[in-house]
A and B are shown apart, each in its own frame.
Chain A
Amino acid sequence: MSTPALDPTLAASADARAVRTPAAEFWRKFKRQHVALVAGGFVIALVLLAVFAPWLVPFDAEQFFDYDALNAPPSAKHWFGVDSLGRDIFSRILMGTRISLAAGFVSVAVGAVIGTLFGLLAGYYEGWWDRIVMRLSDVLFAFPGILLAIGIVAILGNGMVNVIVAVAVFSVPAFARLVRGNVLSLKHQTYIEAVRSIGASDWVIMLRHLLPGTISSVVVYLTMRIGTSIITAASLSFLGLGAQPPTPEWGAMLNEARADMLNAPHVALFPSLAIFVTVLAFNLLGDGLRDALDPKLDS
């Protein structure tokens, strides 16, 4: 009484042909990018470090002072040495991971969500929506990124939260343009016409059918952007506009270390390395994602 559709052997052979879903295809290409895999693993490790940092640090990052070891170089007790106030640099770097990752993730996520939404609207409706969104992004692009951030911080006041807001604002136009461009080329494809002809609403078309088509380039850009945003946030703290001492933010730590460069260059070395390695990981991961997702590189 078995119908062919329920035949177990048939189902098994369909499995063996391995349906090539976009996700499977992506993974097949991505796992060949060894550098990006390592970078991705490193990013995951960093996130875990950031989450568990308060339980992992050997000393309190702000309240512990070893007055007998001011500016001491790395040792078994203080892995990355001690700064001019007697604080343990390793603990401060570890706690700083939380701040830098949060700054990078939050600012880019906010910028990406708002920018993607604007880009969808501009690309889908064109006309007025398009003109307003593009004009606004022209204006935001008329300010070199960090200058815009400095302007926003000047208005909102110093502090890490305001820095995150500032970095998010100047991420918006880049995502808006990227998504708009993709939508403009996608929306004349037959499958969109088909969805429209069965009466789907504009929102369903945008969110269920256009968004998935553009999401891969958004993810690639987002990953790269996190690296840039971490640097921008650290730069603003370095300039004294972001996190304030004694907060263990990497850029702020470098700024504090400047005064003692002659006696204790290691105080500046470790925050520099922390920023470099973190941003490098995001950039390498972004490169790998791009190579795995870009159909142009298939050949």
Chain B
Amino acid sequence: MVHYLIRRLLGLLPTLLIVAVLVFLFVHLLPGDPARLAAGVDAGPETVELVRRDLGLDRPLPEQFVRFFGHALQGDFGKSIRSQRPVATEIAERFGPTFWLTLAAMAWSVVLGMLLGIVSAVWRNRWPDRVGMTLAVSGISFPSFALGMVLMQLFSVQLGWLPTVGADSWRHYILPSLTLGAGVAAVMARFTRSSFIDVLKEDYVRTARAKGLGEPVVVVKHGLRNALIPVVTMMGLQFGFLLGGSIVVEVVFNWPGMGRLLVDAVDMRDYPVIQALVLLFSLEFIVINLVVDLLYAVINPTIRFK
């Protein structure tokens, strides 16, 4: 297992390096001069030159990259152009709300999605299946920003049960996490169903039934564990989807998280913030996929010894 972990970690290094290079090059791909962007529109040519030297933008590219990478490793991404505060501080404030929102959405959507999937598979082609799969296909077809607006209109504006915007109490988390998780729950339901249907056709399930086990035992003990293997992989992919989805949902609910910070930063061409956020988002995604792979290896021993 340790061997497997080390091999997976080493395999990540090239990907991480390329991601870092891309994020670094991002500034140079932007239209216009980054020094001018940083100095502001009103700055004279002398100021622009000063800023250029100050940020090291006059150095050769490889040297700039080493500098950028070294600073990034220490969590230093420079100052936000918009607020003039350190990027690290800006992001630190926004990290918590996004993290908890994503986690809340993941928790309910995985549980509900898998439950729907199992119920649909067990009662295949009967009414629970039809209801479950109709819900699921609607879930993947309804855009999250529209769902968020509908939920807000219904529960906050019309009924007044829940707060509309902000992230102050647990009640603030209900609507955004419902909005964010709906798509994931739908994908999980569809995926769990097909995985479960495959497993229920296996010989060992027939054996379990033949030796007189009750259906609940067959489904839970013999079906679930085997059906879970592909489902866990799907979960990892979906977490990435949630990270991306949070960007849209945060804008709808005016959520003080990293997603909204990113949209504002793109709007203002605040490139140090964009760089740091893109790097952080993809790092998070890579780490989650690693965790999923490890979980996968725990559930399915054949992977470890390949």
Contacts and interface: CB of A to CB of B under 8 A. Distances in A.
The finding on whether chains A and B are genuine partners in a shared complex, rather than unrelated, reads: yes
Interface of A: 135, 138-139, 142-147, 150-151, 153-155, 157, 227, 231, 234-235, 238-241, 251, 254, 257-258, 261-262, 265, 268, 271-272, 275-276, 279-280, 283-284, 287
B247 A265 contact: no
Nearest to A231: B143
Nearest to B147: A272
Given A275-B143, A283-B141, A150 B286 contact: no
Contacts of B262: 147, 150
Q: Which 6 A-B pairs have the closest CB atoms?
A: A144-B244, A272-B146, A280-B141, A146-B244, A279-B141, A144-B240
Interface of B: 14-15, 18-19, 22, 26, 29-31, 137-138, 140-146, 149-150, 152-153, 157, 240-241, 243-245, 247-248, 251, 262-263, 266-267, 269, 274, 278, 281-282, 285-286
Given A146-B248, A241-B266, A276-B142, 16 more contacts: A135-B14, A139-B18, A142-B285, A143-B285, A144-B244, A146-B244, A147-B244, A150-B262, A155-B26, A227-B141, A238-B145, A239-B251, A240-B263, A262-B157, A268-B146, A279-B142
Contact of A235 (B157, B243, B248, B266): B248
A284 B140 CA distance: 11
B31 A157 contact: yes
B146 A261 contact: no
Contact of B244 (A145, A241, A258): A145
Most buried by A among B18, B144, B146, B245: B146
Contacts, number: 120
A144 B241 contact: yes
Most buried by A among B145, B243, B245, B285: B145
Nearest to B243: A144
Nearest to B274: A154
A271 B149 CA distance: 12
Contact of A272 (B22, B149, B285, B286): B149
Contacts of A268: 146, 149, 153
B247 A261 contact: no
Contacts of A265: 153
Nearest to A276: B142
Nearest to B248: A235
A194 B38 CA distance: 63
Contacts of A257: 149
